[in-house]
Amino acid sequence: MIRWYKNLYVGKNAKKREAKIRRDLESGKSLPGVYFVTYADNKDNQLEIYPAVSLLKLKIEHDSCPEIIGISRGHREAVKIVAGLADTAYRIEGCKSIRDYLEKCE
């Protein structure tokens, strides 16, 4: 089962296809060029960026995947999402971690 963050962050290039990307991931379809931002499995890290193929592999092999925080078209857009989250969490909100900020926003 795929868990989606309540206030999902969607990159500008992925916005038009958000619903289709979500449906295709749920059904296990290939999503070339799509990246997902998730909570890191390791509590020492903040977030992870996965290409869709890696996330699908996790879903198939382990019958689960980490909660998805953001969707992007291209790695650069995923990095922009993470950078924006870091800026907001640390500089604007004064949180200790991105994870703390995201959990506070849920």
Q: Please provide residue 72's backbone torsions phi and psi, each rounded to the nearest 5 degrees.
A: -145, 160
pTM, full prediction: 0.89
Q: How far apart are CA 21 and CA 97, in angstroms?
A: 28
Between the CA of residue 44 and those of 17, 37, 47, 48, 79, what are the distances in Å? 32, 16, 10, 12, 19
Q: What is the pLDDT along the chain (106 residues), one digit of tens a residue?
A: 788 999 999 999 999 999 999 999 988 898 999 999 999 888 788 999 999 988 887 776 666 778 999 999 999 999 999 999 999 998 888 888 898 899 888 7
The residues that bridge with 39 in the sheet, in sequence order, are 47
Beta carbons of 59 and 26 less than 8 angstroms apart: no
Q: How far apart are CA 60 and CA 92, in angstroms?
A: 38
